[in-house]
Each structure stands twice: as C-alpha cells, then as structure tokens.
Chains A and B, each alone.
Chain A
Amino acid sequence: MAIVNLQNVTYQYPLTDSPALQNISLQVNEGEFVAVVGPNGAGKSTLCYTLAGFVPHFFKGQLTGTIEVAGIQSHQTSLPEWVLNVGLAFQNPFNQISGAKFTVFEELAFGLENIGVPRDEMKARVEEAMKLTGISDLADRSPYSLSGGQQQRVALTSILVMQPKVLVLDEPTSQMDPIGTREVFGVIREMAERGMTVILVEHKVEWIAQFADRVIALHDGQVLLEGKPGEVLTSDLLAEKGFGLSRYTSVARRAQELGLWTKDTLPVTLDEAVDGFSLTPDPSLRSASQSPTGRGES
C-alpha cells in the first residue's frame, strides 16, 4: 500500500523564474526502498524538502498538487505533526545539528525531548540507535568536534531515533569513506526490512543497484525514468543526459561498441560485470576468466 503519494506536484521557490519541481506524481509503498538519482539542479533536494514538509511549511513560494504521507495531506497539517511521520537527514549535516546541545548523546535526544518521550525510553532509544549506526563511542563528544563523516552518522542517527514511518535521506554518505558508506547502506537496508519506508538521494549508483528496490531518475524537476535499478541505471537516456553511471556500466558500453560485450543488458555492479565479461566470445579471454592464475601472456 502506498504510504507516500504525490499527485501533480509543482513547486517554485520565491524569487525564482522557473519551478524546481514540475508535475511530479509519485507513489512509494510501505517498506519500500526507493533511490532518487539526478544531476545537480534536477530537484532532488527540493523533493526531499517537499516530502519532509519544509515545502510549503518553511520555504514559501508556489505549490500546487497534493503531498500525502500516511493518509495525511501536508497542507492540512502543521510541521510539528508532519515530522512525526517523516524524518529528513540533510545533505549538509552541519546545518542539521541543533547548536543547543553539548554532546552527541544530548543532540540525539533533542527530538525525543521535544515530543515528550519519557526519560528512560529516551535513553534506551538513543543508545539503541547509536549502536545501530556505530557511533556509541562518540556519545560524549561535542557534535561540532566531529569529522564530516562522523557528523553525517550523527545526523542520520538523530532521525532514526525518532522512528519515523518514512525516512528521507539526502546524500547521507557524501563525506564518508567507502567502508563507512557500505556500513550506512547496511543500516538503511535494515531499516527498510523492519518496515520503514526509505527515500534516498544518492550519487553512488553501485550501492543503489545492490540495495534499492526502485530508482527514480529526476531531471529538470521532472521524473525522467523510474523502474528497477538494473534497468534505469543502465539506460541510454541517463548516459545522454549526463547522469553519473557506474564505471562498470560505462566500460561495458564502450566494450559493447568494440564488440567485447555480448550480453543484451549492461552491468551496474561488480558481479554483473564479471558475469558479462566472462561470457565474451574472445577465446583467449574466456580461458582467462576461467583460470584463476591469469592468461599467461604478456
């Protein structure tokens, strides 16, 4: 069942000439993990703000269409009500930290304090969330003394602790090292498996392909394509429009032009690329891929 339902949403920021989102209609099912991709200026962050209720409750401007989450329409409710259902982790974690708290632990409890969660439950929820995202050792640090990657984990944790029905994440791993990225994707996947609905804006397509159920490609404020990750992320249209693609997709497309990739579909992940290149009709290469020691030629 759709928990998120956008109908013909068009939104224009104040003092701008053209809409940031144009006629977006979108349904996301409960427990679904949807990734949003697109070039700079495609409207990805604006879509996040819209889902999180900042449009229209914080950012003014012109909005038409309807935004519904868990059966409530955003214009019929207030931001404090809305955020009980939807949590957003900002693109820049620095902008999200309250500035009112001295330690990471207190920062994580801030949202819960605001909705009046009892003290013992608050403590337990913060501790559990910190454990999940691997930041228990940062509990007593100042949120401002952390590295970019650590701040991003704190920002994500401060949303998870609220246990929203819908989790909206705007490039949550942009400042993380690759293994940090892998861990965070694991956490997000687990949240989705527990029934949380996840909408994730992300440039790292190799990870999307492994974890997301569906991909939405945004371009110029409109939905250009949507579908299964393997199909959307390898489409010619995305390559033409300057979307970031996986290196496996790009190299296989070049290899296809040279007759060195024979499969009908292009790969997004390492395993798909290994499978496809192992099929190539070149006899020397076939023996290579079957032999763990290599081809034995210079």
Chain B
Amino acid sequence: MKIEIKDLHFTYPTGVEALRGISLTIESGEQVAIVGQNGAGKTTLVKHLNGLLLPTRGQVLVGDWDTSKYPVAKLASRVGYVFQNPDEQLFSKNVGAEVAFGPRNLRFRGEQVEALVKDALALTELSDKTETNPYDLSAPWRKMVALASIISMDTQIVIFDEPTTGQDAVNIARIANVIKTLRERGKTVITITHDIDFCAENFERVIAMSQGKILLEGKANEVLEQDEILATTYVDPPQLTRLGKRLGFEKTVKNQEEFLAALKK
C-alpha cells in the first residue's frame, strides 16, 4: 500500500503556514525516519496520513484512498498513529482494554481481537500488565501502552511520533525491536524522531524537514553525512558518523558495525 503526497500545503486556522509544498512517495513496507527542528512541520505532515488534518492545497493518497474523501475512522484501518504524548490517547481502565479498543472498533471478531491484543502486548513486553490502569504506570511505560494499542490494530502503515522521548536505553532497545518486527512483517513504518542515533541505527531512509518543506531525503547514509545542510534544520549527524568523519574514514558510517568494519580496514 503506497503513500503518495502531492504538493501538500497546509495552513493552520491561526495563519501559520506549516507545510509549504511537500511531494513524497513512500512504498509499501518502507521504514522511514523524519527528522528536523522543532516546528519544521513533522507532526503536521504525519497527521495528514490518517486524515486528522486535511490539505489546504494538494493531495494525500493512502493506497487508492484520497484522505480528503474518507473519514478518519475509515482511514484508521490503514494507518495507525501513536501520538507524541501518550496521555492524549489513553483512556481505558486497564491496559488490556486499552489495547483491545482499536481492533474492536475496526470490527475484528472476538478471537481475532484476542490474538491481536496478545501479540501487541508480547511485542511491547506488557503481557504482565494487562490488568493495570495505564495511569498507574510510569510515563515511559504509558508510551509502550500507546504503542501496543496501535500495533494491535494491525494496520499496514504505522506512524510513531517521537517514540524514544524520555525512554531509557532498555526501553529504546525494546522500541527498536518493535520496529524491526514490524519490518519483518512487511509493515510501513514512519517515525518522527529527534534521536538521530536511534534514527541511524534503525532506518534505511531518512527525510529531513525544515520550515514546512523537505530539505533532504534519501538513503540514511547519504542524508546523515550532510552535516552543513542538516545544521540548518538543527540536526547533528549521528555520533559515530561524526566520529568517522573526524577520523578521516572515506565512507560514511552510521552504526557500530559499520564503524568497527571501517576501523579494522
């Protein structure tokens, strides 16, 4: 299920012009990271993919569906969106009910709902917390509940808005594992992140946004080495990319394996 964004413009009612001509195609099963400074339009862009926002000008197609012609409830069967702040999306009395809410609304049958919930909880390592009220969990774990409640909807496209914010190393590894599993299942994963090292380690394609436009986009290595251009959207290259560059490596490296391979040469 391809995503096609054609000359997308969006202006908020306040007059803020948040998107200024975005054209982009994301193929089915791609793993894409979106980076860029605060206020670049990253969240505004992804909110167009499930119809939370509709274009002021231009068009957004999810598969063969024009988002302006389908209600959000319908688009939810194709696009799952995990909010930046989990507290904006959690409301059920326990984790199990929270994670079952999405698939139930998508009209999955009883035993299917059960299987989807079980899988999502296992993937996010929440299986022992089904009876817990989400608000009795710490903020990092509430974020994992938000992830699980979208994964259980089994949509082809999954969007994460800053999934690693406030997470420790162990939870970041869990989130990386979720993304890897979704990749293996052929899902399209789009992630907004300020954690450029996390981006380098988990994504093959990177889009850098600035002031409502796409500044750079392409393979992670090619985008992440453009330190001067990235600096204009307040992004630094990943730590190991910077280190490789300072050490005079010929090839751009973005993770530990690539760094050590280059070092051994």
Interface residues of A (CB under 8 A from B): 38-41, 91-92, 94, 145, 147-150, 171, 174-180, 203, 206, 242-248, 250-251, 254-255, 258, 260, 270, 273-274, 277-278, 280, 284-285, 288-289, 291-295, 297-298
| B residues less than 8 Å from A289 (CB atoms) | 247-248
Contacts of B249 in A (CB 8 A): 288, 294
User: CA–CA, A291 to B235, complex, Å?
Assistant: 27
In the assembled complex, B171 has its CB within 8 A of some CB on chain A: yes
Contacts known (A39-B169, A270-B246); A145 close to B14, Cβ less than 8 A: yes
Say how far A225's CB is from chain B's closest CB, in angstroms. Answer: 16
Chain B residues closer than 8 Å to A177, beta-carbon distance? 36-38, 194, 233-235
Tell me which of A41, A145, A251 contacts B256 (CB under 8 A).
Answer: A251
Known contacts A150-B39, A246-B239, A295-B248; decide if A175 and B260 are in contact (CB<8 Å).
no
Please measure, in the bound complex, the distance between the C-alpha atom of A255 and the C-alpha atom of B260, giving whole angstroms: 7
Q: How far is the CB of B144 from chain A (nearest CB, A)?
A: 10
- Most A CB contacts (10 A, CB to CB) among B39, B169, B243, B260 go to B169
Residues of B within 8 A of A149 (CB): 38-39
Smallest distance from the beta carbon of B141 to chain A beta carbons, Å? 7
Q: Is B109 part of the contact surface with A, judged by Cβ < 8 Å?
A: no
Give the Cβ gap from B25 to chain A, nearest Cβ, in Å: 26
Taking the closest CB of chain A, its distance from the CB of B219, in whole angstroms, is 19
* B128 in contact (CB, < 8 A): no
| B184 contacts A by Cβ under 8 Å | no
Whether A270 pairs with B248 at a CB distance below 8 angstroms is no
In contact, B169 and A242 (Cβ under 8 angstroms):
yes
B263 engages A285 (CB within 8 Å): yes
What is the minimal beta-carbon distance from A74 to any residue of chain B, in angstroms? Answer: 24
Known A91-B139, A242-B170: A284·B265 in contact at CB below 8 Å? yes
A291:B166 contact, CB within 8 angstroms = no
Q: A178 with B165: in contact, given A149-B38, A260-B264, A270-B243 (CB under 8 Å)?
A: no
Kindly state whether residue B84 has any CB partner on chain A within 8 Å: yes
Interface footprint category on B: 35 or more
Residues of B bordering A, CB below 8 Å: 14, 36-39, 43, 84-85, 87, 138-141, 162, 165-172, 194, 196-197, 231, 233-236, 238-240, 242-243, 246-250, 256, 259-260, 263-265
- Decide if A178 touches B196 in the complex (CB within 8 Å): yes
Nearest CB of B to A39, in Å: 4
**Are A251 and B240 interface neighbours, CB within 8 A?**
yes
B165 to chain A, nearest CB (A): 5
Contacts of B236 in A (CB 8 A): 178-179
B265 in contact with A255 (CB, 8 Å): no
B165 touches A174 (CB 8 A): yes
Residue numbers in A under 8 Å from B168 (CB-CB):
38-40, 203, 242-244
CB-nearest residue of chain A to B12: A145
- Contact of B165 with A260 in the complex, beta carbons under 8 Å: no
With both beta carbons as reference points, the residue of chain B lying nearest to A280 in the complex is identified as B263
Which A residue sits closest to B239, measured CB to CB?
A247
Q: Which of A94, A148, A251, A293 contacts B260 (CB 8 A)?
A: A251
- Nearest 10 Cβ contacts at the A-B interface: A149-B38, A244-B169, A179-B234, A247-B239, A39-B168, A177-B234, A177-B37, A40-B140, A40-B168, A178-B236
Decide if A247 touches B197 in the complex (CB within 8 Å).
Answer: yes
Partner of B172, one of A244, A248, A278, A292: A244
Given contacts A178-B234, A285-B247, 16 further A-B contacts (CB under 8 A): A40-B167, A176-B194, A177-B233, A177-B235, A178-B196, A179-B234, A244-B168, A244-B172, A248-B240, A251-B240, A258-B264, A270-B242, A270-B246, A277-B263, A289-B247, A297-B250
A–B Cβ pairs within 8 angstroms, 20 of them: A40-B140, A91-B139, A174-B165, A177-B234, A180-B234, A203-B168, A206-B239, A242-B170, A243-B168, A244-B169, A247-B239, A250-B256, A251-B259, A255-B260, A258-B260, A270-B242, A277-B247, A288-B249, A289-B248, A294-B248
Residue of B nearest to A284 (CB): B265
Which chain B positions have C-beta within 8 A of A298? 250
A250 to B257, CA, bound (A): 12
Residues of chain B lying within 8 A (CB to CB) of residue A247: 197, 238-240, 256
A142 CA to B233 CA, complexed, in Å: 24
